[in-house]
Amino acid sequence: MNGVNNTKYLIDQNSNLFHAIDIKATFSKISFLKQIDIRSSKNNQNRIDLHGLVLTIGYVAQAPYLTVANGRFEGALGDIFNIMANEMNFTYKITPSKDGMYGSQLQKPIFVNGHKVTHNGMIGMLEAKEVDIALSDLSLTYNRGQSIKIVDIVS
């Protein structure tokens, strides 16, 4: 998973979270993994604390990557997202994609709540400011990248 400034994180089969660190010089590079103890109450200056902020998350469920049970995300993406919510101190409410779509470009832009919307589905929900984050096994396209800021890729 890529983070801010191309920071990479890995999660192993036992739900241990690691920060993948690359240090590059002109002609050489070293790489190593630093385990992040998510159970520790240590104050980490690099930690992003959203102070309990409630985020609205748009999604398209696609097993086994992302499913919903009892108002919480599950599956591979859900597990990673729940770790992020815990680590970054935020909560979330879930909103399924209005039309069940990821986001195809519309033939003509429309305006929703005063916002120019060029896509349907989750991309359109992001453009209309109806959701804060779109969580899904979303493929990246040039047109989608022109409409929204794509921050993290989990592979």
In this structure, are 32 and 105 located in the same domain? no
Question: Can you tell me whether residue 90 is helix, strand or coil?
Answer: strand
| Cβ-Cβ contacts under 8 Å for 58 (sequence gap 6 or more) | 95, 96, 97, 122, 125, 126, 130, 131, 133, 134, 135
Are residue 55 and residue 35 in the same domain, yes or no?
Answer: no
Sequence-distant (6+) residues with CB within 8 A of 90 are 50, 52, 53, 54, 55
Residues 116 and 109: their CA atoms lie apart, in Å, by 6
Q: What is the pLDDT of residue 18?
A: 78
Residue 32 lies in a domain: yes
Report pTM.
0.65
Verify that 116 and 70 share a domain, yes or no.
yes
pLDDT of residue 40: 57
d(C-alpha 143, C-alpha 135), whole Å: 18
pLDDT (0 to 100) of residue 112 = 92
What b/e string do you get for 2-11 counting C-beta neighbours within 10 Å, with b at 16 or more?
Answer: eeeeeeebeb
Q: What is the pLDDT of residue 58?
A: 94
Q: What is the CATH number of the domain that holds 148?
A: 3.40.190.10
Question: Could you tell me if 104 and 150 lie in one domain?
Answer: yes
- Is residue 53 domain-shared with residue 1, that is, in the same domain? no
Residue 33 lies in a domain: yes
Question: Which range marks the domain in which residue 14 is found?
Answer: 1-39
- Are residues 19 and 65 located together in one domain of the fold? no
Shared domain for 72 and 22, answered yes or no, is: no
Residues 99 and 148 in one domain: yes
Say how many domains are in the chain. Answer: 2
| pLDDT at res. 88 | 82
What is d(CA 64, CA 105) in angstroms, rounded to the nearest whole number? 27
Please check whether residue 44 lies inside any domain of the structure: no
pLDDT in tens, the chain (155 residues): 444 456 777 777 777 787 777 655 434 466 767 777 766 555 555 666 677 788 889 999 999 999 999 999 999 999 999 998 988 888 899 999 999 999 888 999 999 989 999 999 999 999 998 998 899 887 777 777 777 766 655 54
Quick one: 8 and 68 in the same domain? Answer: no
Q: Given this model, what pLDDT does residue 30 score?
A: 60
